[in-house]
Amino acid sequence: MRRASLFNHSKHPGGICNPPRDPRDLYTPRFVKGKGRSKIGLCPICIESPLRGGRGQKLWLSTKFSAFNYHMQFAHGVSATTGRPFSPPLSYRTSNRRHALKLERSEILEGRCHKCKKWVPVESIKDCEVKVKELFWWKHAATCHQGSQVPGDDDFYEQDDVFRCLEELGL
Half-sphere exposure of 89 (CA within 13 A, CB side): 20
Helices (H), the chain: 3-7, 67-75, 135-144, 161-168
Q: Which residues of the chain have pLDDT under 50?
A: 1-9
88: DSSP letter: P
Give dist(CA 130, CA 140) in Å, integer: 17
- pTM, two decimals, is 0.78
Residue type, 123: E
Q: What is the pLDDT of residue 54?
A: 87
Contact 45, 53 (CB under 8 A): yes
According to the model, what pLDDT value does residue 8 have? 44
pLDDT tens by residue, 127-171: 888 888 899 999 999 999 988 888 877 666 667 777 777 777 765
